[in-house]
């Protein structure tokens, strides 16, 4: 009896704890800030928002208006955090590279460049146009980084095969730097780009809007679902491609699904919040230390903890130096770089 | 196979072999002198283009009259307060980055181990911005902040290399050139840059303009005070760097050989990194982190000298790059002034990819 119950309890806890933390943080994020609000007011405001009386509530009191104003920000944080964390997990699984992170490998920078280019060329349409640009940029950066890193690994080891983790990060840094320089040039040269991109050197939730959330939530949910469905296959490719074939999975197709989901989620997250690094690196590595009961639960927990991490980063950033704020891009790098240094000291890190 | 055979053969060939070596050596030296002279002319020509041409042109006789102290309405101000300081500042900063890159390259034996990639420039700009905005230091105080920031990042990267981030390759300075340590430096660099962005975004409008131009690396802030400070730093650091660069020669043969020759490659390498970090930080303090100038100039310099490491050549190449980039940034698109660091950054990124791809095939 106890034998079977204990793993089940562990399974439940593995998902329930982050869910509880996330809900608590979401509540705190709506209530706290430059103008902190009591719990009862939060509840009335949210209830009126859900029943479609948001406008009346805003008119009713400043406190309720503050709460309603923070809702898109919290939703954006949840979407961005879960998208980036699951992207990191999918990249680490697909490339068997412990340093997989969409920011670190230059994908976010590619998305930003494509969006700046599109806006510079006058393509300021709906969110969907921006999203299309972001996907194109992410994909372009991914292909470039992967090709350069494979070439570097082939040169150093003489053999073909998957690119090593260090090559990927170095190629990602080069692509980030180049894309970043061209993006900066566009921001300076073209006023329309400047208007939209002024705050894009760091990832931030300060520009969140309900319209963007509505348009991009579907993309992110779809990406997470794709990774969730591929979870059993990720275990198989972790054992090597030959073993995966033997176990009846098709590693190439699985990789394509995982990387496709990564591109979608990274593009959406970058369109929502700008470049945010290290969330995808931190969350999966921390969770693996807790020995996840199954890969599917690892995906769920990664999404929840990723969302919680970004919300916590945003909340702390808003409270520490209020009324100014520390943007999430700063906090995540501050937390991520020490972890990165620890990971680099492992023996398995090769070019 | 016997030693006797070898030595007799060598003895018979000795005069000619010696002559051959002497001829090769003098050819190498002649090539080096030629390259240095050619680059010096190139840098001066680019500076002349920078000062005389562009949206506002100045004639050569007018230029010398202005230098002689004559007041020509409009022209004197533009030449003495904008064009000439920019050209001189660009040459000095470029030389500093080029020399710094050469010192790092020769010590760490990896073309990717450049001070602007592993976070020295980013650390220096974070130090300068913190000194400027948080502590309220201006002028020399900002330069001190930059030096502390640059040396600080260099220290962290060195400590990471020494603590076993890359074990098994003789000595910390050699380990520091490994890709592992470069990736650690890139992570630290992104950390420093994001601190800079955060501070810049929280600034008031007035400060924002000047600081944000400086943080992407620009010569628009060039004035004679900054140039004087940077020139003083270079007068001290460049000869020092040159001496250390030459003292690194035994280490080119490998640590064991160098020890056998009585050199202390570890200590010399450490000094080279300190002087290299100071050079990059001083240039950053003056005009911001001009991205990838060190990364760009070292391989170009080696190409020109035929693979021979030379600090003066690298410094001159760096100077040429920055003067040219400053001219292009201000004049290429009418009405748009791109900070110099953006141009060098855009040029450096493809080179970095290329260096990465062929890194292990030649190094």
Instruction: Tell me whether B110 touches chain A (CB under 8 Å).
Output: no
Instruction: Pull the structure tokens for residue B142.
Output: 């900002």
- Cα B296 from Cα B345, distance rounded (Å): 9
- Angstrom CA distances, A113 to A157, A207, B72, B272, stand at 33, 18, 45, 37
CB atoms within 10 A of CB B72: 14
pLDDT at B137: 78
Contact check, Cβ <8 Å, A337/B216: no
pLDDT at B362: 36
Return left, alpha or beta for A277; rule: phi > 0 is left, psi -120 to 50 is alpha, else beta.
beta
Of residues A8, A14, A9, A32, the one with CA closest to residue A304:
A14
Instruction: Tell me whether B183 touches chain A (CB under 8 Å).
Output: yes
Residue B252 has pLDDT above 80, yes or no: no
Query: Could you tell me which chain A residue has the CA closest to the CA of B342?
Result: A181
Per cent of chain A over pLDDT 70 is 91
- Cα A151 from Cα B241, distance rounded (Å): 35
The interface pTM score, or ipTM, of the predicted complex is: 0.85
Residue A74 has pLDDT above 50, yes or no: yes
pLDDT at A1: 42
Least confident segment among A92-106, A160-174, A281-295, B197-211: B197-211
- Cα B361 from Cα B63, distance rounded (Å): 50
- Angstrom CA distances, A163 to A105, A169, A171, A236, B45, stand at 12, 10, 10, 19, 44
- Which tens digit of pLDDT belongs to each residue from B23-40? 777 877 888 889 999 999
pLDDT tier, B170 (very low <50, low <70, confident <90, very high otherwise): very low
- Cα A125 from Cα B338, distance rounded (Å): 27
CB atoms within 10 A of CB A255: 22
pLDDT tier, B16 (very low <50, low <70, confident <90, very high otherwise): confident
3-class DSSP assignment, residue A99: coil
Residue B100 has pLDDT above 50, yes or no: yes
Interface contacts (A, B; CB < 8 Å): 131
pLDDT at A349: 67
Which A-chain residues 136-165 have CB contacts (< 8 A) with chain B?
144, 148-149, 151-152, 155-156
pLDDT at B172: 54
Instruction: Pull the structure tokens for residue B287.
Output: 């005009």
pLDDT: which is higher, B349 or A244: B349
Instruction: Pull the structure tokens for residue B113.
Output: 């181990």
Instruction: Pull the structure tokens for residue B132.
Output: 């400027």
Counting DSSP H helices and E strands in chain B, the numbers are 16, 0
Which A-chain residues 202-261 have CB contacts (< 8 A) with chain B?
202
Instruction: Pull the structure tokens for residue A347.
Output: 């023996």
Q: Please answer whether residues B295 and B116 qualify as being in contact, where contact means their C-beta atoms are separated by less than 8 angstroms.
A: yes
Which of B186, B216, B357 is opposite residue A173, by nearest beta carbon?
B186
3-class DSSP assignment, residue A199: coil
**According to the per-residue pLDDT averaged within each range, which of A268-272, B159-163, B210-214 is highest?**
A268-272
Mean pLDDT, chain A, as a whole number? 85
Instruction: Tell me whether A351 touches chain B (CB under 8 Å).
Output: yes
Residue A127 has pLDDT above 80, yes or no: no
User: Which residue do the tokens 């098994």 mark?
Assistant: B168
Residue B321 has pLDDT above 50, yes or no: yes
The alpha carbon of A258 is separated from its chain's Cα centroid by a whole number of angstroms, namely 14
Kindly provide the b/e burial profile for residues B11-35, where b requires at least 16 CB atoms within 10 angstroms of the residue's own CB. Answer: eeeeeeeeeeeeeeeeeeeeebeeb
- Which tens digit of pLDDT belongs to each residue from B177-206? 688 888 899 999 999 988 888 888 777 666
- Which tens digit of pLDDT belongs to each residue from A137-183? 999 999 999 899 888 888 777 666 678 888 889 999 999 999 988 98
Query: Could you tell me which chain A residue has the CA closest to the CA of B199?
Result: A326
pLDDT at B363: 33
Residue A110 has pLDDT above 90, yes or no: yes
- Cα B290 from Cα B341, distance rounded (Å): 4
Mean per-residue pLDDT for A117-136? 83
pLDDT at B103: 92
The alpha carbon of A68 is separated from its chain's Cα centroid by a whole number of angstroms, namely 24
Q: Which domains does chain A have, with CATH numbers?
A: 74-344 (1.10.3470.10)
For chain B, domain boundaries = 36-362
pLDDT tier, A5 (very low <50, low <70, confident <90, very high otherwise): low
Mean pLDDT, chain B, as a whole number? 83
Query: Could you tell me which chain B residue has the CA closest to the CA of A276?
Result: B194
Tell me the residue ranges of DSSP E strands in chain B. Answer: none
**How buried is residue B9: exposed, middle or buried, by Cβ count under 10 Å (0-12/13-18/19+)?**
exposed
pLDDT tier, B54 (very low <50, low <70, confident <90, very high otherwise): confident
**According to the per-residue pLDDT averaged within each range, which of A8-17, B153-162, B275-284 is highest?**
B275-284
Tell me the residue ranges of DSSP E strands in B91-139. Answer: none
Query: Domain B36-362 falls in which CATH fold?
Result: ABC transporter involved in vitamin B12 uptake, BtuC (1.10.3470)
pLDDT at B14: 58
**How buried is residue B4: exposed, middle or buried, by Cβ count under 10 Å (0-12/13-18/19+)?**
exposed
Which of B183, B345, B358 is opposite residue A170, by nearest beta carbon?
B183
pLDDT at A160: 60
- Which tens digit of pLDDT belongs to each residue from A190-215? 777 776 766 666 788 887 888 888 88
Instruction: Tell me whether B338 touches chain A (CB under 8 Å).
Output: yes
């Amino acid at each position: 009896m106890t034998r079977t119950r204990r793993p089940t309890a562990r399974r439940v806890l593995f998902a329930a704890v982050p869910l509880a933390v996330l809900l608590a943080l979401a509540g705190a994020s709506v209530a706290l800030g430059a103008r902190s609000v009591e719990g009862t007011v939060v509840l009335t405001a949210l209830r009126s928002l859900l029943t479609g009386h948001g406008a009346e509530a805003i008119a009713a009191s400043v406190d309720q208006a503050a709460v309603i104003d923070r809702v898109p920000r919290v939703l954006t944080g949840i979407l961005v955090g879960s998208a980036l964390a699951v992207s990191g997990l999918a990249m680490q699984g697909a490339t068997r590279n412990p340093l997989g992170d969409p920011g670190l490998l230059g994908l976010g920078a590619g998305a930003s460049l494509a969006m700046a280019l599109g806006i510079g060329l006058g393509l300021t349409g709906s969110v969907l146009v921006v999203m299309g640009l972001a996907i194109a940029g992410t994909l372009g950066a991914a292909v470039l980084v992967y090709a350069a890193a494979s070439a570097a690994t082939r040169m150093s080891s003489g053999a073909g095969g998957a690119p090593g983790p260090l090559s990927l990060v170095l190629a990602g840094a080069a692509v980030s730097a180049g894309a970043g320089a061209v993006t900066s040039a566009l921001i300076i040269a073209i006023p329309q780009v400047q208007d939209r991109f002024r705050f894009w050197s760091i990832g931030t939730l300060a520009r969140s809007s309900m319209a963007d959330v509505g348009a991009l939530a579907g993309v992110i949910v779809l990406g997470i679902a794709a990774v969730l469905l591929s979870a059993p296959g990720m275990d198989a490719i972790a054992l090597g491609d030959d073993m995966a074939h033997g176990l009846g999975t098709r590693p190439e197709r699985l990789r394509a699904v995982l990387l496709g989901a990564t591109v979608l989620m990274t593009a959406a997250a970058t369109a929502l919040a700008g470049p945010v690094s290290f969330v995808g690196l931190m969350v999966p590595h921390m969770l693996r230390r807790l020995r996840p009961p199954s890969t599917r639960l690892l995906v769920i927990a990664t999404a929840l903890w990723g969302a919680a991490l970004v919300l916590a980063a945003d909340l702390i950033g808003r409270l520490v130096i209020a009324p100014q704020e520390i943007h999430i891009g700063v906090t995540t790098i501050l937390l991520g770089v020490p972890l990165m240094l620890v990971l680099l000291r492992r023996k398995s890190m090769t070019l | 196979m016997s030693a006797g055979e070898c030595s007799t053969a060598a003895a018979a060939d000795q005069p000619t072999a010696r002559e051959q070596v002497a001829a090769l050596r003098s050819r190498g030296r002649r090539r080096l002198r030629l390259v240095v002279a050619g680059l010096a002319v190139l840098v001066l020509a680019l500076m002349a283009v920078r000062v005389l041409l562009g949206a506002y042109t100045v004639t050569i006789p007018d230029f010398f009259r202005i230098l002689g102290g004559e007041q020509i309405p409009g022209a004197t101000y533009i030449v003495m307060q904008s064009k000439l300081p920019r050209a001189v500042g660009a040459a000095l900063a470029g030389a500093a980055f080029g020399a710094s890159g050469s010192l790092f390259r020769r010590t760490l034996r990896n073309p990717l181990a450049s001070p602007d990639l592993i976070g020295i420039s980013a650390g220096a700009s974070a130090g300068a911005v913190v000194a400027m905005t948080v502590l309220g230091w201006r002028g020399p105080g900002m330069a001190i902040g930059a030096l502390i920031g640059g040396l600080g990042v260099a220290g962290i990267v060195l400590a990471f290399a020494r603590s076993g981030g890359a074990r098994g390759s003789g000595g910390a300075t050699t380990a520091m050139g490994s890709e592992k340590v470069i990736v650690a430096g890139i992570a630290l660099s992104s950390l420093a840059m994001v601190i800079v962005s955060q501070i810049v975004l929280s600034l008031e409008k007035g400060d924002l303009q000047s600081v944000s131009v400086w943080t992407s690396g620009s010569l628009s802030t060039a004035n004679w005070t900054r140039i004087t400070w940077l020139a003083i730093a270079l007068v001290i650091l460049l000869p020092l760097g040159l001496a250390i660069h030459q003292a690194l020669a035994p280490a080119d043969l490998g640590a064991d050989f160098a020890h056998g020759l009585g050199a202390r490659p570890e200590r010399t390498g450490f000094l080279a990194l300190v002087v290299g970090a100071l050079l990059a930080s001083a240039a950053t303090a003056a005009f911001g982190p001009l991205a990838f100038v060190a990364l760009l100039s070292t391989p170009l310099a080696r190409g020109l000298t035929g693979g021979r490491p030379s600090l003066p050549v690298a410094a001159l190449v760096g100077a040429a790059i920055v003067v040219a980039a400053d001219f292009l940034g201000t004049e290429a698109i009418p009405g748009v002034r791109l900070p110099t660091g953006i141009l060098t950054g855009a040029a450096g990124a493809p080179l970095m990819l290329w260096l990465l791809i062929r890194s292990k095939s030649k190094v």
